[in-house]
Amino acid sequence: MLGAFGVRRGGETQIVTYAVLTSSDTGSAGKRVDTSGDAIVEIMDGAGHLLGERVMLPDDFEQLVDQIKTWCGNIDVVLTTGATGLSSRDVMPEVTRKVIDMEIPGMAEAMRAESLKATNMAMISRAVAGARGSTLVINLPGSTGGVRDNLRVVLPVIEHAVEVLQDRQTGSHQN
């Protein structure tokens, strides 16, 4: 049975634990509401997954690295939002590359390709996806619409990616 966003539901679903990391100077200073983080939680919870933790930090390289490392090995998926653009404070792709052991370029490429159908601004996204050990790390844009568009693209493969990363895959690959 398919639920919202075309994700398997019911007996076939593997519950994934996830964490949300919002990178925002203004949000961490209490000057902006984290609507992109809200969108992640809405979509992931709607797909039957379990929120482990949610944190908002300033666009500080070391703080972001430390937070992602803290979650890796304890959470199945880390979903980041924000800091994927061209500003000098947009450091999330560099943070992610420092943390991950393996890049998964197909996920970021698929998100950008789908986003280009909605906006030319997708060309300047620097989002990265990869894995550190058994934890999947995916960068999402800082806008609510960008989160919805991009997470919808990768959501159908998150469970399978987690199963493979954790050596729990049984059976053949899905179509």
- pTM, whole model, 2 decimals? 0.90
Residues written for the chain? 175
CATH placement of domain 14-165: 3.40.980.10
Mean pLDDT of the chain: 91
> What is the predicted pLDDT for the residue at 173?
58
Q: Tokens for 110?
A: 């698929």
Is it the case that residue 104 has pLDDT exceeding 90? yes
Boundaries of every domain in the chain: 14-165
Q: Tell me the mean pLDDT in the region 84-100.
A: 97
Query: What does the pLDDT read at residue 96?
Result: 98
